[in-house]
Amino acid sequence: MVDIATRVYNHKWKIDPIVRSLIDTDFYKLLMCQSVFRNRPTTSVTFSLINRSTRIRLAELIDEGELREQLDHARSLTLARGESTWLRGNTFYGKRQMFRPDFMAFLEGLRLPAYHLEKHDGQYLLTFEGPWPQVMLWEIPALAILMELRSRAVLRDMGRFELQVLYARAMTRLWEKIEALRGIGDLRIADFGTRRRHSFLWQDWAVQAMIEGLGERFTGTSNCLIAMRRDIEAIGTNAHELPMVYAALAEGDDRLRRAPYDVLADWHEEHDGNLRIILPDTYGTPGFLEHAPDWLAGWTGIRIDSGDPAEGAETAIRWWQSRGEDPRQKLVIFSDGLDVDKIIELHGRFHGRVKVSFGWGTLLTNDFRGLVAGDGLAPFSLVCKAVAADGRPTVKLSDNPAKATGPADEIARYRRVFDVQAQVAQPVTV
Amino acid sequence: MVDIATRVYNHKWKIDPIVRSLIDTDFYKLLMCQSVFRNRPTTSVTFSLINRSTRIRLAELIDEGELREQLDHARSLTLARGESTWLRGNTFYGKRQMFRPDFMAFLEGLRLPAYHLEKHDGQYLLTFEGPWPQVMLWEIPALAILMELRSRAVLRDMGRFELQVLYARAMTRLWEKIEALRGIGDLRIADFGTRRRHSFLWQDWAVQAMIEGLGERFTGTSNCLIAMRRDIEAIGTNAHELPMVYAALAEGDDRLRRAPYDVLADWHEEHDGNLRIILPDTYGTPGFLEHAPDWLAGWTGIRIDSGDPAEGAETAIRWWQSRGEDPRQKLVIFSDGLDVDKIIELHGRFHGRVKVSFGWGTLLTNDFRGLVAGDGLAPFSLVCKAVAADGRPTVKLSDNPAKATGPADEIARYRRVFDVQAQVAQPVTV
Concatenating the DSSP letter of every residue in A334-349 gives E-SS--HHHHHHHHHH
Instruction: Give how far A168 is from chain B: nearest CA, Å.
Output: 4
Asked if residue B428 is part of any domain, the answer here is no
Q: What integer is the mean pLDDT of B146-174?
A: 93
**Cα A296 → chain centroid:** 23
Dihedral in degrees, nearest 10, Cα atoms A256, A262, A264, A269: -170
Instruction: Give how far B94 is from chain A: nearest CA, Å.
Output: 29
> Which residue of B9, B159, B172 is in closest CB contact with A165?
B172
Residue A23 near residue A225 (C-beta atoms within 8 A): yes
Cα–Cα distance, B141 to B197 (Å, whole number): 11
Strand arrangement of the beta sheet that strand A123-131 belongs to = A116-120, A123-131, A44-51, A382-389, A392-393
The answer to whether residue B118 scores a pLDDT higher than 90 is yes
Cα–Cα distance, A391 to A50 (Å, whole number): 19
> Which residue of A159, A160, A175 is in closest CB contact with B165?
A175
Residue A386 near residue A40 (C-beta atoms within 8 A): no
pLDDT in tens, chain A (430 residues): 677 777 777 777 778 999 999 999 999 999 999 999 999 999 999 999 999 999 999 999 999 999 999 999 999 999 999 999 999 999 888 888 899 999 999 999 999 999 999 999 999 999 999 999 999 999 999 999 999 999 999 998 898 899 999 999 999 999 999 999 999 999 999 999 999 999 999 999 999 999 999 999 999 999 999 999 999 999 999 999 999 999 999 999 999 999 999 999 999 988 888 899 999 999 999 999 999 999 999 999 999 999 999 999 999 999 999 999 999 999 999 999 999 999 999 999 999 999 999 999 999 999 999 999 899 999 999 999 999 999 999 999 999 988 899 999 999 999 999 999 888 888 776 6
Q: What is the mean pLDDT of chain B?
A: 94
Residue B424 near residue B398 (C-beta atoms within 8 A): no
Asked if residue B342 is part of any domain, the answer here is yes
Instruction: Give how far A62 is from chain B: nearest CA, Å.
Output: 27
Q: Provide the pLDDT for residue B6.
A: 72
Asked if residue B184 is part of any domain, the answer here is yes
| A160 reaches B (C-beta below 8 A) | yes
Residue B92 near residue B81 (C-beta atoms within 8 A): no
Instruction: Give how far A45 is from chain B: nearest CA, Å.
Output: 42
Q: Provide the pLDDT for residue A365.
A: 97
Cα–Cα distance, A240 to A285 (Å, whole number): 13
HEC profile of A32-90: HHHHHHHHCCCCEEEEEEEECCCCCCHHHHCCHHHHHHHHHHHHCCCCCHHHHHHHHHC
The answer to whether residue B170 scores a pLDDT higher than 80 is yes
| B372 reaches A (C-beta below 8 A) | no
First CA to last CA across chain A, in angstroms? 44
Residue A365 near residue A191 (C-beta atoms within 8 A): yes
- Chain B positions touching A5 (Cβ under 8 A) are 1
Q: Provide the pLDDT for residue B300.
A: 96
Q: Provide the pLDDT for residue B429.
A: 62
Asked if residue B313 is part of any domain, the answer here is yes
Question: A95-96 and B218-221 as β-strands: parallel, antiparallel, unpaired?
Answer: unpaired
Report the DSSP beta bridge partners of residue A92. A95
Asked if residue A400 is part of any domain, the answer here is no
Residue of B nearest to A10 (CA): B1
Measured over the CA atoms of residue A176, residue A179, residue A181 and residue A187, the dihedral's sign is positive
Q: Provide the pLDDT for residue A395.
A: 97
| B373 reaches A (C-beta below 8 A) | no
Residues 185-204, chain B, touching A (beta carbon < 8 A): none
Give the list of residues 6+ apart from residue A10 with CB closer than 8 angstroms, or none. none
Does A133 share its domain with A175? no
- Chain B positions touching A171 (Cβ under 8 A) are 164-165, 168
Long-range contacts of A248-253 (CB under 8 A, 24+ apart): A248/A386, A248/A388, A248/A389, A248/A390, A248/A392, A248/A393, A248/A394, A248/A395, A249/A40, A249/A43, A249/A389, A249/A390, A249/A392, A253/A413, A253/A417
In the three-class reduction of DSSP (H, G, I as helix; E, B as strand; rest coil), residue A185 is classed as: coil
The residue length of chain A stands at 430
The answer to whether residue B428 scores a pLDDT higher than 80 is no
Q: What integer is the mean pLDDT of B16-45?
A: 97
Residue B348 near residue B371 (C-beta atoms within 8 A): no
Does B152 share its domain with B171? no
Does A128 share its domain with A23? yes
Cα–Cα distance, A196 to A144 (Å, whole number): 6
Does A240 share its domain with A151? no
Per the CB < 8 Å rule, is A1 touching B5?
yes
Number of domains in chain B: 2
Cα–Cα distance, A232 to A235 (Å, whole number): 9
| A171 reaches B (C-beta below 8 A) | yes
Does A174 share its domain with A187? yes
| B3 reaches A (C-beta below 8 A) | yes
- Interface contacts (A, B; CB < 8 Å): 55
| A93 reaches B (C-beta below 8 A) | no
Residue B153 near residue B70 (C-beta atoms within 8 A): no
Per the CB < 8 Å rule, is B9 touching A3?
no
| A209 reaches B (C-beta below 8 A) | yes
Residue A332 near residue A237 (C-beta atoms within 8 A): no
CATH number of the domain to which A149 belongs? 3.20.140.10
Asked if residue A429 is part of any domain, the answer here is no
Does A254 share its domain with A349? yes
pLDDT band at B325 (very low <50, low <70, confident <90, very high): very high
Asked if residue B161 is part of any domain, the answer here is no
- Chain A positions touching B160 (Cβ under 8 A) are 212
Asked if residue B414 is part of any domain, the answer here is no
Q: Provide the pLDDT for residue A420.
A: 92
Does B313 share its domain with B388? no
Residue B127 near residue B49 (C-beta atoms within 8 A): yes
Helix, strand, coil percent values for chain B (each to nearest 5)? 50, 15, 35
Q: Provide the pLDDT for residue A55.
A: 93
Q: Which domain holds residue B312?
A: 167-365
Does B44 share its domain with B176? no
Instruction: Give how far A14 is from chain B: nearest CA, Å.
Output: 19
The answer to whether residue B176 scores a pLDDT higher than 90 is yes
Q: Provide the pLDDT for residue A426.
A: 81
Instruction: Give how far A87 is from chain B: nearest CA, Å.
Output: 25
Q: Provide the pLDDT for residue A423.
A: 85
Does A80 share its domain with A210? no
Distances (CA, A) of B31 to A91, A224, B197, B237: 68, 60, 21, 7
- Chain A positions touching B165 (Cβ under 8 A) are 171-172, 175, 209
Does B202 share its domain with B69? no
The residue length of chain B stands at 430
Measured over the CA atoms of residue B226, residue B231, residue B236 and residue B237, the dihedral's sign is positive
Rg (CA), chain B: 21
Residue B175 near residue B206 (C-beta atoms within 8 A): no
Residue of B nearest to A205 (CA): B161
| B161 reaches A (C-beta below 8 A) | yes
> Which residue of A6, A171, A208 is in closest CB contact with B1?
A6
* Phi, psi angles (nearest 5°) of residue B46: -110, 120
Per the CB < 8 Å rule, is A169 touching B168?
yes
Does A107 share its domain with A171? no
What's the half-sphere exposure (Cβ side, CA atoms, 13 Å) at A334?
29
Does B47 share its domain with B105? yes
